Amino acid sequence: MAKVEAKLLELGCELPPPPEPVGNYLPITRSGNVMWLAGVGSRMADGASIAGKLGDDLTVEQGYAAARWAALNLLARIKAELGDLDRVTRILKVVGMVNSAPTFTQQAAVVDGASDLFVALYGDRGRHARSAPGMAALPGNTAVICDCVIEVDGG
């Protein structure tokens, strides 16, 4: 078994099916060894989404879990594209958009759910630049949408 997937199992995680695009866009584009992944929401393995506004409907802990699910959905897309999560040589950038109540200010703590997973799986190669903006609304009222930019091996 691949190293990253073994770590996923150690963490008690399983990849969900890769999400399909919900509009007129590609889920992944690539130029050389850099890949840009379109945003994915906090859809869980059973197909249900963690939905609601942070600070109104959801706690920081629930938002953290939502960001972790978004990261798992990104990993599912990477696996579908590359066939092997070990081909990721670096997580370069993560953007985590948080569905936020007007007074909610803990977006960074929410998006740590994605960042912490990437670091747990890839170590220093999983450390990345990041943005964590609060949003007035997200499609389907999903709690968190994450996208990322990664570097992959040339294979």
For residue 113, what pLDDT band results from cuts at 50, 70 and 90? very high
Q: Could you tell me whether strands 144-152 and 28-31 are parallel, antiparallel, or unpaired per DSSP bridges?
A: unpaired
Residue 33 Cα distances to 48, 68, 110, 150, angstroms:
33, 25, 29, 8
Q: DSSP of the chain, one letter per residue?
A: --HHHHHHHHTT--PPPPPPPSSSS-SEEEETTEEEEEEE--B-TTS-B-BS-BTTTB-HHHHHHHHHHHHHHHHHHHHHHHS-GGGEEEEEEEEEEEEB-TT---HHHHHHHHHHHHHHHHGGGG--EEE--EES--GGGBSEEEEEEEEE---
- The β-bridge partners of 144 are 98
Domain boundaries, the chain: 3-19+29-152
pLDDT band for 155, please (50, 70, 90 cuts): low
Q: Looking at the predicted structure, is the pLDDT value of residue 1 above 90?
A: no
Q: What is the mean pLDDT of residues 118-124?
A: 97
Q: Model pTM?
A: 0.96
Residues 44-75: tens digit of each pLDDT: 999 999 999 999 999 999 999 999 999 999 99
The hierarchical CATH code for the domain 3-19+29-152 is: 3.30.1330.40
Q: Per-residue pLDDT tens for 68-98?
A: 999 999 999 999 999 999 999 999 999 999 9
pLDDT of residue 44: 94
